[in-house]
Amino acid sequence: MVTQGAKSQDVFAADALHSAQTFMRLLDAAPLGMLVSTLDGMVVYANPAFSELLGHRPEPGHVFQFADLVSDETNAITRLHFERLLRGEVSVSRGEHQLRHVDGYPVWAMVGATILPAEGDTPPLILVQMNSIELQKRAEEALAASESRWNFALESARQGVWDHDIRTDTMFYSRMWRLMRGIPANEEVDGDQAKWLERVHPDDRPRIVANVHRQDRGESDFDTLEYRERTRDGDYIWILSRGRPVEWDAQGNPTRTIGTDTDITRIKKMEQELAAEKERLRITLEAVADGMISTDLDGRIIFMNPAAELLTGSNAATTVGQSVRDIFHLRSEHGEEKLPCPVLACLAQSTQIRIDDDSVLCALDGPRRDIRATASPVFDAAGALSGAVLVFQDVTQSRALQRQLAHSASHDDLTGLPNRASFERGLSAAIVSARNGPRQHSLVYLDLDRFKPVNDTAGHAAGDALLKQVAQNIRGVCRSHDLAARIGGDEFAIILEDCPIAHGRAVAEKIVRAIGALAFSWAGRDYSIGASAGVTIIGARSASPLGFMGEADAACYAAKAQGRGCVVAYPDMAAS
């Protein structure tokens, strides 16, 4: 039978796998080169388009930094761009950078970078997009020599060109600029800026109006603009517009700005899908009732969901980066013995570790909870161990119910003493221990005297109350490790561990005296009862459980024959 916890784990695992596969599929299908790196520049992912762009084809275990890709000529500029991004001065860094192909020659690329903040189990990362602008660069270099070659290069790269004459406030648009907007190649386009702004999406228009003049002035932070523009068929496409001044007047004021527009609708759609997948994963993790902790290869926590915070009594904001064994404290259910951390065992063995029983989670804020946990290894794309995920459930109520059911199955409902089945198991164990070693145990069989009149005259409720008092008296005389059980209506049996016959008889006599002195009143009437007991020894001699019980029963019968209220030892009977 599959438990609810296992179902929740399966659902989580399926959702996580689907999200990861979707994420990788979208990145792998991106037409632009894309890298994901840590904040210190260590590359952790590169898509196929990147490999095509620079020739680098990362192999498993191969580690490199983004700085390794930048040519010496633009290294300083590139470093400044990324430092501004890391300092938070800009949210998106975009610029032209000269990169180094694996064969050694330089490659110009438009590089955009943004920081993906830490969220869920993902640390802060830098997402880098790069698009080759080699054709554009070559076209710029050859512009003076060959206008046709310039146009051909840009169109081959699907770059729409615009030319803004600031003095006359007129615009020139290239053929590709028209085509990407669904405008016929030879159709005249009104270059009035107001006409263009009418096509810009209303949500983007205020930002563009506020910044387009800054692009004309050549401000470095505003040489690239992103916005949505309505095409001839009514749809909106995302435009990446790059431009800068190329001519100035005598006073140094820009008089002409040239730029290119790129349709980045596919990239934006991919970003939105990735964001949606990430949000669905976040909501799923927060909604799951099971505690979830993700760690790195060294067992340091990198993610905790709200359920894990509640169960461990910790806060994710302060525990991230700490060792999981400092947060996840397990102890034995039957004592204070500290249990090994399942996550560290999982990482050491590279295999799944399950904890199903005898495990108590000691929360940092005090509560102790019975738990069930599974620690599973996490492998990267190359098959190398990269961390572990711990999923655990609070099973305090279910285990309490199991204990209650187990107690009910082995104990008498009325007196709380072990029942006959439990006693027989204990008797078998005592016989084995005596047979295999120099141990002796005393077996006492006890039958109440004058109990039937209480039931007949006062009723069964009175009889039940009396039996409870008798059971308390028996427990009060016996040691904590002795086994006292109710094996019939008014019959009891006791195993006195490591107790010779003489001492066993003395204990039986003490029990008989305690029962005889019992003062029991019911409905204003006093009742007096007694008990007779037989004692035998469980030793190394061969005998079956039925044989030892038969001896004790026979001794009890002899005690009743002698006038009740006394104890008879079976060895004395056998000797006479």
Q: Specify the 3-state DSSP secondary structure of 164.
A: strand
10 Å Cβ neighbour count for 259?
21
Distance CA(234)–CA(225), nearest Å, equals: 21
Cβ distance 359 to 371 under 8 Å? Answer: yes
Both tokens assigned to 63: 């580690």
Cβ distance 359 to 374 under 8 Å? Answer: no
Distance CA(363)–CA(408), nearest Å, equals: 30
Which secondary-structure segment (H or E) carries 216?
Answer: helix 205-217
Amino acid at 165: D
- Residue 252, sorted as left (phi over 0), alpha (psi -120 to 50) or beta, turns out to be left
Distance CA(151)–CA(140), nearest Å, equals: 10
Check 464, 490, 526, 553 and give the catalytic one: 490
Distance CA(444)–CA(533), nearest Å, equals: 7
In Å, what is the CA distance from 222 to each residue of 49, 208, 211, 212, 214? 27, 10, 7, 8, 6
Q: How many Å separate Cα 250 from the centre of its chain?
A: 65
How is the beta sheet containing 106-116 ordered, strand by strand? 43-46, 33-37, 125-132, 106-116, 92-100
- Residue position matching structure tokens 């760690």: 295
- The residues near 433 (Cβ < 8 Å, ≥ 6 apart) are 439, 441
Active site residue 449: no
DSSP codes of every residue in 477-545: HS-TTSEEEE-SSSEEEEEETT--HHHHHHHHHHHHHHHHT--EEETTEEE--EEEEEEEEE-SS---H
Helices 460-477 + 501-516 axis angle, to 10: 140
Cα dihedral 337→340→341→347 (10° resolution): 180
Cβ distance 471 to 531 under 8 Å? Answer: no
The secondary structure of residue 68, as a DSSP letter, is G
Catalytic positions are 490
